[in-house]
């Protein structure tokens, strides 16, 4: 009888081992999938043809002079990025002046290492001609100042990445926040300033980043 019981138990034991093996494999796959997800970097939404550039999307840029470049092309230097639009009545000119004030707080050697990236919130109307007109009005002549536009989709993605909120109004203007973003040579977001009247900490962060470049 014992022999019969032992033989009769073989199919049951085989099934039990099979179930255990299947569960173990399933657990392994879950852990393997979790590990893969953990290794996948988070991406800021951008157009399907653009990759992430550190914390920011690598958007294509049409500069005010009509040339085509990208945000990735500015890599290798510390950058201060913001967004504005050419026909902005008051806030945007004040933002440009705030950027000039930050630049004046830096030494000539530090200034040479710094790039300003100013992207349009209104790419449909901010043609290169409109942006050149803005540059003339505000005295922007340095090649270290990149004034340009991207697609509407990528403008939204870039704004979200730097923490700038905006919406279009019925009169064609924009209601938008003011954000200055300090970005390191690898595209990592180091600091933000939303009060352009008080940039002491932002300037200190810029000096620190430039010293490490």
Please name which of 50, 43, 65 lies closest in space to residue 153, comparing C-alpha atoms. 50
Q: Spell 171-189 as b/e; 16+ CB within 10 A means b.
A: eeebebebbbbbbbbebeb
The predicted-structure confidence for 41-81, as pLDDT tens digits, reads as follows: 332 333 333 445 578 999 999 999 999 999 999 999 999 99
pLDDT at res. 53:
58
CB 190 within 8 A of CB 182: yes
CB 42 within 8 A of CB 160: no
Question: For domain 52-212, which architecture applies?
Answer: 3-Layer(aba) Sandwich (3.40)
Query: Within the chain, which residues score under 70 in pLDDT?
Result: 1-53
pLDDT at res. 89:
84
Residue spans of the domains in the chain: they are 1-40, 52-212
Chain position carrying tokens 């950027």 = 99
pLDDT at res. 173:
76
């Amino acid at each position: 009888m014992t022999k019969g019981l032992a033989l009769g138990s073989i199919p049951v034991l085989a099934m039990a081992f099979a179930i255990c093996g299947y569960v173990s494999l399933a657990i392994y796959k879950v852990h393997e999938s979790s590990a893969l997800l953990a290794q996948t970097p988070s991406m800021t939404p951008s157009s399907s043809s653009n990759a992430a550039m550190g914390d920011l999307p690598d958007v294509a840029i049409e500069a005010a002079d009509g040339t085509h470049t990208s945000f990735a092309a500015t890599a290798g230097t510390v950058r201060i990025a913001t967004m504005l639009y050419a026909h902005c009545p008051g806030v945007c000119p004040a933002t440009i002046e705030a950027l000039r004030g930050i630049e004046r707080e830096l030494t000539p050697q530090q200034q040479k290492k710094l790039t300003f990236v100013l992207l349009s919130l209104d790419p449909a109307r901010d043609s290169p001609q409109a942006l050149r007109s803005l540059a003339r009005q505000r005295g922007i002549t340095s090649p270290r100042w990149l004034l340009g536009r991207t697609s509407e989709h990528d403008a939204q993605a870039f704004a979200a990445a730097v923490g700038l909120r905006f919406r279009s109004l019925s009169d064609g203007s924009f209601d938008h926040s003011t954000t200055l973003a300090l970005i390191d040579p690898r595209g990592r977001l180091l600091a933000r300033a939303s009060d352009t009247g008080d940039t002491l900490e932002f300037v200190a962060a810029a000096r620190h980043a430039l010293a490490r470049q």
